[in-house]
């Protein structure tokens, strides 16, 4: 081997000692990095798991709270619905009974508003105004509390004060709804009966001086079994000894026709009890029978007058028929015709008959024309006897619209405690004609000379 050969370096795969250990260190670093990443991921997972658990727990609590609130809301909703049903039932149950009282309050408030716009209030004692307003407010509160009796009592208590404010010169006696009035004198007391309203089937008010009237209540708490409730009107009363017989109009449930029934009581204020199994009068073939009124002739024999409604070809007709001594049944096979419409001012309508014997003359009073208008009026006729026939006394009404009232009707003739004749009637207040306005209660003295009546101013 030469020297040159001995110095030749072989270049194949020659590795220095430091380069031989470098891969081992590199792998260790990788392992540590990987371990760090795994630990970080594990820690993150743990933290995320804890956070998720907390979030889930909170969400669960929120869900529980929401479910509880939902249950409470459902319970509240059920209670509210129940309350709405109860309130609706109460409202519907008392709506009809309250309607007329609300109208009366409204009418009174309208009169007060109108009066307040005039200088006439300056001359009225402030106490009078306060008394009327207080009564109206109390009545309004009673209606809200579903207490129609309390409302009527409040209106009655304020009646005199409101009458003063009204300032009517027409004989206004009771400024609230009191249509088809009938006045019965018993001893020193006067009892006025009227068509149904908030107080019940038959309104009843009482007075000892014909000026101050107090509401007594419902004179007929229950109608006959064959009759439809809340369809009663035009009452009248006949005294027979110690018994009082009330006649009134009511609808027959079976036929839907208006008929006349009777009820009895042992005192004038009732309560009257109707035990009938069928109507006393019901002319179904000529439209039904309404507006009954009793009459007693000079010999003490009782009679009943009424109106048949009339149908096509049959005009409205006033009738009369004798009653049994106790007044609870009719005598004879058929009634007698008293009067039919013949005068132009009647417009084919007559109703509400009432008969009186005065100075040897039989005088029939009645209403005619359209009851919802100012043309409604009261007429009079001369009759041959309690069974007629009757003849018109004039071609004009006896009492028509005048200062203080419009459309008078529903006359009832009675005598006061001194024997003087009076006419009770209902009428609209001027400017408030027609339903749903009230028909108030009026009283006027009358005089009858040679069978010819005149209404005193």
Residue 86 and residue 431: Cα distance in Å, rounded? 39
Assigned domain for 279 exists: yes
Secondary structure letter of residue 147 according to DSSP:
-
DSSP labels for 294-323?
A: EEE-TTS-EEEEEEE--BTTB--EEEEEEB
Helix %, strand %, coil % of the chain (to 5): 35, 30, 35
Q: What is the pLDDT of residue 427?
A: 97
pLDDT-derived band of residue 122, with 50, 70 and 90 as boundaries? Answer: very low
Residue 448 and residue 349: Cα distance in Å, rounded? 25
CA nearest to 195, candidates 339, 306, 347, 352: 352
pLDDT-derived band of residue 107, with 50, 70 and 90 as boundaries? Answer: low
Could you give the angle at the alpha carbon of 429 between the alpha carbons of 423 and 435, nearest 5°? 105
pLDDT-derived band of residue 442, with 50, 70 and 90 as boundaries? Answer: very high
Number of other residues whose CB lies within 10 A of the CB of residue 340: 17
Assigned domain for 140 exists: no
Q: Worst-scoring range by mean pLDDT, 80-84, 317-321, 449-453?
A: 80-84
CATH number, domain with residue 314 = 2.115.10.20
CA nearest to 151, candidates 207, 100, 115: 100
Assigned domain for 379 exists: yes
Q: What is the mean pLDDT of residues 277-299?
A: 97
CA 375 centroid distance within chain = 26
Number of other residues whose CB lies within 10 A of the CB of residue 447: 12
pLDDT-derived band of residue 207, with 50, 70 and 90 as boundaries? Answer: very high
Return the sign of the alpha-carbon dihedral for residues 32, 33, 37, 40.
Answer: positive
Q: Which residues contact 457 (CB under 8 A, 6 or more apart)?
A: none
Residues 137, 124: contact at Cβ < 8 Å?
Answer: no
Q: What is the pTM of this model?
A: 0.72
Q: What is the pLDDT of residue 121?
A: 44
pLDDT digits (tens, 9 = 90+) for 82-104: 554 454 444 454 555 455 555 55
- Of residues 18 and 4, more confidence is placed in 18
pLDDT-derived band of residue 390, with 50, 70 and 90 as boundaries? Answer: very high
Assigned domain for 167 exists: no
Residue 261 and residue 226: Cα distance in Å, rounded? 10
- Domain span including residue 185: 173-455
Assigned domain for 134 exists: no
Residues 353, 340: contact at Cβ < 8 Å?
Answer: no
Could you give the angle at the alpha carbon of 307 between the alpha carbons of 231 and 284, nearest 5°? 70
User: Cα-flanking dihedrals φ and ψ of residue 376, to 5°?
Assistant: -60, 140
Number of other residues whose CB lies within 10 A of the CB of residue 136: 23
pLDDT digits (tens, 9 = 90+) for 61-70: 545 555 555 5
Tokens 């006061």 belong to which residue?
A: 416
Q: What is the mean pLDDT of residues 169-186?
A: 91
Q: What is the pLDDT of residue 69?
A: 59
Assigned domain for 157 exists: no
Residue 194 and residue 418: Cα distance in Å, rounded? 24
Assigned domain for 183 exists: yes
Domain count, the chain: 1
In angstroms, what CA-CA distances link 133 with 127, 278, 431? 10, 46, 21
In angstroms, what CA-CA distances link 318 with 195, 287, 291, 429? 20, 13, 9, 28
Rg of the Cα trace of the chain?
Answer: 45
Q: What is the pLDDT of residue 374?
A: 97
Tokens linked to 391: 């003849």
Assigned domain for 85 exists: no
Q: What is the pLDDT of residue 159?
A: 72
């Amino acid at each position: 081997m030469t020297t040159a050969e001995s110095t030749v370096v072989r270049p194949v795969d020659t590795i220095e000692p430091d380069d031989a250990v470098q891969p081992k260190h590199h792998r260790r670093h990788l392992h540590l990095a990987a371990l760090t990443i795994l630990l970080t991921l594990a820690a993150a997972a743990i933290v995320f798991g804890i956070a998720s658990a907390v979030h889930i727990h909170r969400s669960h609590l929120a869900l529980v709270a929401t479910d509880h609130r939902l249950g409470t809301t459902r319970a509240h909703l059920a209670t509210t619905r129940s309350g709405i049903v109860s309130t609706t039932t109460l409202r519907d149950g008392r709506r009809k009974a309250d309607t007329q009282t609300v109208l009366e309050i409204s009418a009174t408030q309208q009169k007060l508003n109108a009066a307040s716009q005039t200088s006439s209030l300056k001359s009225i004692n402030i106490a009078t105004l306060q008394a009327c307003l207080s009564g109206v407010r109390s009545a309004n509160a009673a209606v809200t509390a579903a207490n129609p009796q309390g409302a009527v009592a409040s209106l009655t208590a304020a009646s005199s004060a409101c009458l003063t404010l009204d300032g009517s010169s027409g004989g206004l006696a009771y400024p609230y709804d009191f249509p088809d009035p009938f006045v019965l004198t018993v001893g020193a007391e006067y009892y006025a009966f009227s068509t149904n309203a908030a107080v019940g089937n038959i309104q009843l008010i009482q007075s000892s001086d014909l000026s101050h009237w107090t509401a007594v209540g419902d004179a007929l708490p229950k109608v006959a079994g064959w009759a439809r409730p809340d369809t009663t009107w035009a009452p009248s009363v006949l005294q027979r000894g110690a018994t009082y017989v009330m006649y009134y109009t009511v609808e027959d449930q079976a036929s839907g026709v208006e008929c006349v029934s009777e009820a009895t009581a042992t005192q004038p204020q009732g309560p009257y009890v109707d035990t009938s199994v069928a109507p006393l009068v019901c002319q179904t073939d000529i439209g039904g029978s309404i507006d009954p009124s009793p009459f007693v002739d000079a010999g003490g024999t009782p009679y009943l007058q009424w109106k048949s409604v009339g149908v096509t070809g049959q005009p409205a007709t006033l009738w009369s028929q004798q009653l049994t001594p106790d007044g609870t049944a009719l005598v004879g096979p058929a009634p007698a015709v008293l009067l039919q419409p013949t005068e132009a001012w009647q417009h084919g309508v007559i109703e509400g008959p009432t008969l009186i014997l005065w100075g040897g003359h039989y005088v029939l009073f009645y209403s005619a024309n359209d009851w919802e208008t100012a043309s409604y009026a009261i007429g009079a006729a001369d009759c041959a006897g309690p069974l007629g026939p009757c003849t018109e006394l004039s071609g004009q009404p006896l009492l028509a619209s005048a200062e203080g009232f419009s459309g008078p009707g529903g006359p009832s003739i009675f005598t006061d405690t001194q024997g003087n004749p009076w006419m009770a009637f209902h009428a609209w207040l001027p400017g408030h004609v027609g339903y749903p306005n009230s028909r108030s209660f009026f009283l006027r003295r009358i005089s009858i000379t040679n069978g010819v009546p005149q209404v005193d101013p």
